Amino acid sequence: MSGVRKIIHIDMDAFFASVEQRDFPHLRGKPVVVGGRPGKRGVVAAASYEARRFGIHSAMPSLQAQKRCPHAVFVPARFDVYRSVSGQIREIFLDYTELVEPLSLDEAYLDVTENKKGNPSATLIANEIRSRIFQKTRLTASAGVAPNKFLAKVASDINKPNGIFVIPPKRVLSFIEQLPIGKFHGIGKATEKRMHELGIYTGADLRQRTERELIRHFGKTGAYYYKISRGQDDREVVPHRERKSVGVEETFVDDLETEEEMAHILKTLAKELERRLKKGKLSGKTVTLKLRYPDFDTITRAHTLDNYVFKADVLFRVAISHLKETEALKRRVRLLGITVSNLERTDIKREVQLWLPFGQGESF
């Protein structure tokens, strides 16, 4: 092994909007805005390429989007559909490698340095994946192929939509040299402005600065800029192992008898569960109460909500309402537990939050 890695970044094209145009033919060719509602406060979750031509982009207030394109068609987001398409895509990725790191529902890094097909060409794999995604979902994806994550991510954007761009190791430095600083992934508008003020417009300019100088201006991130200006990025592709559920339970030496006792315990459990969900950056749609009677008869009661929850007061409310449907008070209780399943990572949940009225949505 030469030690050179082969990383692919796959990014679906205008994902949510493309799914809507696929499923509703009358939306094809039209400026489609997913999420938000015309004339209402809200935030755009996604925009079709036709809508982007009017300057509409995700996370923009719907009112502003409507102003930019009064004839835009607003449609509600269907996250269940997006999630299931995301699952189909993931299945395809896993045919090639277990080293799949999803960034969101429509983007992932794959490390195909060694792959299940024994295919030495990451470019061929990337194109095969794109065509299989299209066969399976009728949706297009773009791909970037490079020796590391940073470059693969930048590359997938270059020939978007429905394109691929490859940066072989020998082209890394020349590629970075000509790259405008604003195109560097991780350099936002504010940093771009500061770089310009410092006379840094391209990767070549960035590479001329010393590490010390960059750290002085940008703190710790300066060290990262120093490295990426040389095409170095050692971050590994970290596959997420999907957790199925998070739960807490407690068994009691003395059976619980009163509703107050049970409510008190459920409150404590809900608080602990919130702590664990937060720690794992998770929230879930299904809340399950587990309960064991003194004769070891064990039952569960599950309830699936419309949205993802993690807060203790919500978990408690669902659990206590289940408890009231059981024979807990009649038979007494030896064990209580609450579990949350149907989980979602918090960075995915952000997309769901785009749905919230603007007042709650603007915190990120």
Residues that bind Mg ion (CB under 5 A): 11-12, 15, 106
* Nearer CB in complex with Mg ion: 11/274: 11
Among residues 160, 217, 167, the alpha carbon closest in space to that of 187 is found at 217
Identified catalytic residue from 20, 50, 101, 107: 107
Q: Which is nearer to Mg ion, 127 or 202 (CB)?
A: 127
110: buried, middle or exposed (CB in 10 Å: 19+, 13-18, 0-12)? buried
| E strand or H helix at 222 | helix 220-228
Task: Report, in Å, the least distance between residue 18 CB and Mg ion.
Answer: 9
Single out the residue of 124, 128, 122, 154 nearest to residue 141, CA to CA: 128
- 3 state SS of 125: helix
**CB of residue 49 vs Mg ion: minimum separation in angstroms?**
11
Residue with Cβ nearer Mg ion (144 or 222): 144
Q: Is 107 a catalytic residue?
A: yes
Cα 85 to Cα 348: distance, rounded to the nearest angstrom: 14
CA distance 278 to 301: 23
Q: In the complex, what is the shortest distance from the CB of residue 48 to Mg ion, in angstroms, rounded to a whole number?
A: 12
Q: Measured from the CB atom, is 46 or 277 closer to Mg ion?
A: 46
* Residue 343 CB neighbour total at 10 angstroms: 21
Question: Closest separation between CB of residue 11 and Mg ion, Å?
Answer: 4
**Residue 147 near residue 169, CB atoms below 8 Å:** yes
Active site residues: 107
